[in-house]
Amino acid sequence: MSTENNLKNLYENSIKILSDLIAFKTISGEDNNQLIDYCDEILKKFGATSFKTFDKDKKRVNLFATLKAKKPNGKPPIILSGHTDVVPVSKGWATNPFEAVIKKDKLYGRGSCDMKGFIACTLAYAPIFSKSDLNRDIHFSFTFDEETACKGAPILIKELKKRGIKNGICIVGEPTNMKIIDAHKGCYEYTTYFEGLAGHSSQPDKGVSAVEYAARYVNKLIELRQKLKDRAPKNSIFDPPHSTLQIGGIFGGIAHNVIADKCFVNWETRPVVKEDGVFLNTELDKYTNEVLLPEMKKVFPNSSINKEIIGEIIGFDRVKNSEACEFVSSITGDNTREVVSFGTEAGLFQEIGISTAVCGPGSIEQAHKVDEFIKLEEISKCLEFLGGVKNQSTSS
């Protein structure tokens, strides 16, 4: 069969796999077992070994599969990393969001670019990897719930450490138009719950308004936000250059004339450096425990303030001499490096010593939107890139 026919078959197979992946409704927090089993079956068909890690209910699962090197020569393994979950779907789609639809030069569907397009390409390339005389292992890492503060990846990373997989080159295939991303801020998400004492609004001194204390808590957050701006590092590579803080919502109360006994606040921060996250939480906890709570408990001893960590995605730090970035550059010929405002799982791999780069098909501009799509040329570019990965993993 000619090279042209091989490439055509590879492209068509990737589109078929992507269509199948989109049909699995793997919204964050929901069961993704069927999709993982689908991926596992494809990889095992071509000789991969694998293991799975689960959430506590075994409803959501990570997959880590390996095609072993036939002629190992000590080169670091390659990890092709992607998340299997997608964000919820809102109204207004022109097509069924869970059915792949091709219109002209675009393929539409939830997760098409973020980031089932990358996963589809890696699965389509598995038979080629399996037939090659690999000089290093090729790993496939597919996780759950990245979109909700990276809940799945830490479970996988813990297992990798246990199995001694602490080195290598990881390529996180988030949509970057196949450009190299080598840094992003962290993303810490929290919900803080306030419980006071309900009562009639005509006697405010006999109740403890959870809403009012939540409002004071939010004011403290806004005050600390300014301090984060003042802590901006010199020569920061980010825009904005400082750690940010945002209030996502305040929810509490049942009526105009009832003192609210319950309220909660959703908030998040995106630290430039870990120390900013530590500073913020230390100052906030001090204010909670030394000012707010004592005042609440004077009136109602059972008052409480509890901060729940929804997720703490560590940042992805720029490394001067990045093996992963140099590896990707050697294939694409592009030596530029960029930073992004969105979070990924890259920092988690980096933290255990695995050199990491973010590079994948599609544009973040289409992610999380109505009528999400990936340009078909991006699929072709990703397949061409994986061809480079194969070449770099079979040469002597």
pLDDT tens digits for range 235-262: 999 999 999 999 999 999 999 999 999 9
What pLDDT, on the 0 to 100 scale, is given for residue 396? 58
Residues, the chain, total?
A: 396
What pLDDT, on the 0 to 100 scale, is given for residue 377? 97
Mean pLDDT of the 100-117 span: 97
Is 329's pLDDT higher than 80? yes
Give CA–CA dist 345/68, Å, rounded.
Answer: 24
Give CA–CA dist 179/168, Å, rounded.
Answer: 20
Quick: pLDDT tens for 278-328.
Answer: 999 999 999 999 999 999 999 999 999 999 999 888 999 999 999 999 999
CATH topology classification for 187-313: Alpha-Beta Plaits (3.30.70)
Between 263 and 148, where is the model more confident?
Answer: 263
Give CA–CA dist 129/124, Å, rounded.
Answer: 10
Quick: pLDDT tens for 340-381.
Answer: 988 999 999 999 999 999 999 999 999 999 999 999 999 999
Give CA–CA dist 217/193, Å, rounded.
Answer: 11
85 tagged catalytic: yes
β-partners of residue 184 are: 316, 340
The matching CATH number, chosen from 3.30.470.20, 3.40.50.2020, 3.40.630.10, 3.60.60.10, for 3-184+315-392 is 3.40.630.10
Range of lowest pLDDT (43-47, 127-131, 337-341): 337-341
171 and 68 Cβ atoms separated by less than 8 Å: no
| Three-point CA angle 355, 142, 62, nearest 5° | 115
Domains 3-184+315-392 and 187-313 are alike in CATH topology = no
Give CA–CA dist 342/315, Å, rounded.
Answer: 10
Give the residue extent of every domain in the chain.
Answer: 3-184+315-392, 187-313
What pLDDT, on the 0 to 100 scale, is given for residue 351? 94
From the list 40, 137, 145, 146, the catalytic residue is: 146
In this prediction the pTM is 0.90
Quick: pLDDT tens for 39-93.
Answer: 999 999 999 999 999 999 999 999 999 999 999 999 999 999 999 999 999 999 9
Is 395's pLDDT higher than 80? no
Mean pLDDT of the 384-391 span: 97
Residues contacting residue 49 through CB under 8 Å, at least 6 positions apart: 65, 66, 68
From the list 85, 137, 182, 261, the catalytic residue is: 85
285 tagged catalytic: no
Quick: pLDDT tens for 203-221.
Answer: 999 999 999 999 999 999 9
What pLDDT, on the 0 to 100 scale, is given for residue 75? 94
What pLDDT, on the 0 to 100 scale, is given for residue 219? 98
The overall average pLDDT reported for the chain is 96
